[in-house]
């Protein structure tokens, strides 16, 4: 799930936020990185706690990863949602942690947006991560 956010080699702690408040089907209860202040080469976990509302069952969709480096956008990476998330997702609260190594050698600003979409393109959740490296 971390996908391209592994591009970050951090000097200052990143900011992580729910960028889908009011527009996403799922509710994000908490977001964090472990460690909170990653260093180049660290194995970093993205910890996600979210709730699927009553009446919603997700059997497929996409996970989309958008990255900009020094305000230059890269082509998004799109993966099947159920590749890293156990489907079907029915009503309830879920906790998910995914890991990625943080590489070295970058300098500047990196912004990452992770968006989960259902099979018809409805936004399920959105996570924004920003860092100055």
Instruction: Extract the tokens encoding 85.
Output: 């998330």
**Residue 83 dihedral angles phi and psi, to the nearest 5°:** -70, -40
- The pTM of the full predicted model, rounded to 2 decimals, is 0.85
Say which CATH architecture domain 3-132 belongs to. Answer: Sandwich (2.60)
Instruction: Extract the tokens encoding 35.
Output: 């460690």
Res. 109: pLDDT tops 90: no
Q: What is the pLDDT of residue 46?
A: 93
What confidence tier does 7 reach under pLDDT thresholds 50, 70, 90? very low
Burial class (CB in 10 A: 0-12, 13-18, 19+), 86: exposed
Mean pLDDT score across all residues of the chain: 88
What confidence tier does 1 reach under pLDDT thresholds 50, 70, 90? very low
**Residue 5 dihedral angles phi and psi, to the nearest 5°:** -70, -10
Distance of CA 52 to the CA centre of its chain: 16
14-66 confidence digits (pLDDT tens): 899 999 999 999 999 999 999 888 777 888 899 999 999 999 999 999 999 99
**Domain regions of the chain by residue span:** 3-132
Strand order in 27-34's β-sheet? Answer: 27-34, 43-52, 92-101
Report percent pLDDT > 70 for the chain.
89
Q: Assess contact for 34 and 45: CB atoms under 8 A.
A: yes
62-86 confidence digits (pLDDT tens): 999 999 989 899 999 999 999 989 9
């Amino acid at each position: 799930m971390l996908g391209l956010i592994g591009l970050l080699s951090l000097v200052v702690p990143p900011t992580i936020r729910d960028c889908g408040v009011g527009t996403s089907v799922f509710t994000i209860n908490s977001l964090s990185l472990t460690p909170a202040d990653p260093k180049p080469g660290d194995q970093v976990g993205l910890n996600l706690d979210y709730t699927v509302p009553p009446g919603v069952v997700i059997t497929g969709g996409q996970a989309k990863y958008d990255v900009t480096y020094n305000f230059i956008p890269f082509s998004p990476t799109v993966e099947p949602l159920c590749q890293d998330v156990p489907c079907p997702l029915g009503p309830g609260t879920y906790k998910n942690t995914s890991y990625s190594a943080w590489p070295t050698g970058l300098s500047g600003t990196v912004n990452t947006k992770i968006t989960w979409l259902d099979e018809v393109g409805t936004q399920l959740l959105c996570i924004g991560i920003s860092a100055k490296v």
